[in-house]
Amino acid sequence: MAMSSARASPRQSPKIGASSGAPLGSGAFELHGLGELPPVVAKEICTFVALLRRRQDLPSIEAARRTLKIMREVVTHTAARDVSWLIESIKRAGGMLVAAKPHELAIGNMVRRVLHVVREELHDAPAAGTGGAGA
């Protein structure tokens, strides 16, 4: 009998991003990594994560749209020193969104799609830059 109660305790551990003292659903959570993101992006992420954590019904298409809006804000407002810094910012913001609702696959798919586009532009940028310099 004591074994069954011991097995139940790991399930009660706090989730990633939740503060250690507050329960998960209380709204008093802290998202780690927001300090490196611009304030506009951090506010958007906090608003969307709060919506996801309240377990409100959100259609997948709306989750995808909100995710892309946040990714656009990340790309627009991040003072990227280089492309690797931009990719890390996108991964950080996307990781926070996915952690808020891991079962919503559209969020992770949109983050990966944005990362693919950024990497594709990085791959194509040197080829486009050398062709225009000689003309």
* Cα gap 135→118, rounded to integer Å: 26
Q: How confident is the model at residue 22 (pLDDT cuts 50, 70, 90)?
A: very low
Instruction: List, for residues 85-133, the tens digit of each pLDDT value.
Output: 889 989 999 999 999 999 999 999 999 999 999 999 888 876 655 554 5
Contact call for residues 99 and 17 (beta carbons, < 8 A): yes
Q: What is the pLDDT of residues 65-78, one digit of tens each?
A: 999 999 999 988 87
CA atoms of 48 and 71, how far apart (whole Å): 12
Give the pLDDT of residue 127: 61
Neighbours of 110 (CB within 10 A): 21
Query: Which residues have a Cβ under 8 Å from the Cβ of 126 and sit 6 or more positions away?
Result: none
User: Coil, strand or helix: which one is 9?
Assistant: helix
| Amino acid identity for residue 79 in this structure | A
Contact predicate 129/123, CB 8 Å: no
Q: What is the pLDDT of residues 28-55, one digit of tens each?
A: 344 555 667 778 888 899 999 988 888 7
Is residue 5 packed enough to be buried (19+ CB in 10 Å), middle (13-18) or exposed (0-12)? exposed
Please give the residue that has the higher pLDDT: either 17 or 73.
73
